[in-house]
Amino acid sequence: MLPEHLARIRARLEAMREEIVREGDARVRVEREEAVAGSADEDQAPHEEMDQAIASSRNRTRAATLARIDAALRRLDADPDAFGTCADCDDEIPARRLELMPFARLCVDCQAKRDPARGGARKHVLDFKG
């Protein structure tokens, strides 16, 4: 991969990281406190119960994405030459995929094989809706 391409991916990873950290406040790091949280403001509690459930699942997603971004940045530092190749089949991960998901470790095919529920099949189901 070209150095300027790597630099662009690094910039993108860092921007994504910053955005997640900013959006999630400190909550991403204090995920363990989630179990005890939820008794904040009594007046707001009823209609925010759902929001909290959604927010906490979002926080988990954010924390997971953050971990993947950090791992990608580490890979980028440790072995820039290998960055952007699929961890399973060693093929190059297409630039477009890396642009959307700079932390991707697998090409689309291998990702679909490992994680069929999130692969193409489900998308088709959703497409047929309505």
Among 64, 67, 89, 121, interactor with Zn ion by CB under 5 A = 89
- What six digits make up the tokens of 82? 């290998």
Report, in Å, the least distance between residue 129 CB and Zn ion. 29
93 binds Zn ion (CB under 5 A): no
110 binds Zn ion (CB under 5 A): yes
- Quick one: residue 95, left, alpha or beta (phi over 0 = left, psi -120 to 50 = alpha)? alpha
Q: Which region among 6-14, 29-37, 63-71, 90-98 touches Zn ion (by CB under 5 A)? A: 90-98
107 binds Zn ion (CB under 5 A): yes
48 binds Zn ion (CB under 5 A): no
> Do 20 and 69 touch, CB atoms closer than 8 A?
yes
Q: What is the DSSP letter of 85?
A: B
> Do 31 and 59 touch, CB atoms closer than 8 A?
yes
Strand partners, 85: 92
86 binds Zn ion (CB under 5 A): yes
Q: Which region among 40-48, 71-79, 95-103, 106-114 touches Zn ion (by CB under 5 A)? A: 106-114
1/110 with CB nearer Zn ion: 110
Cα angle at 89 between 119 and 78, to 5 degrees?
105
Task: By CB under 5 A, name the binding residues for Zn ion.
Answer: 86, 88-89, 91, 107, 110
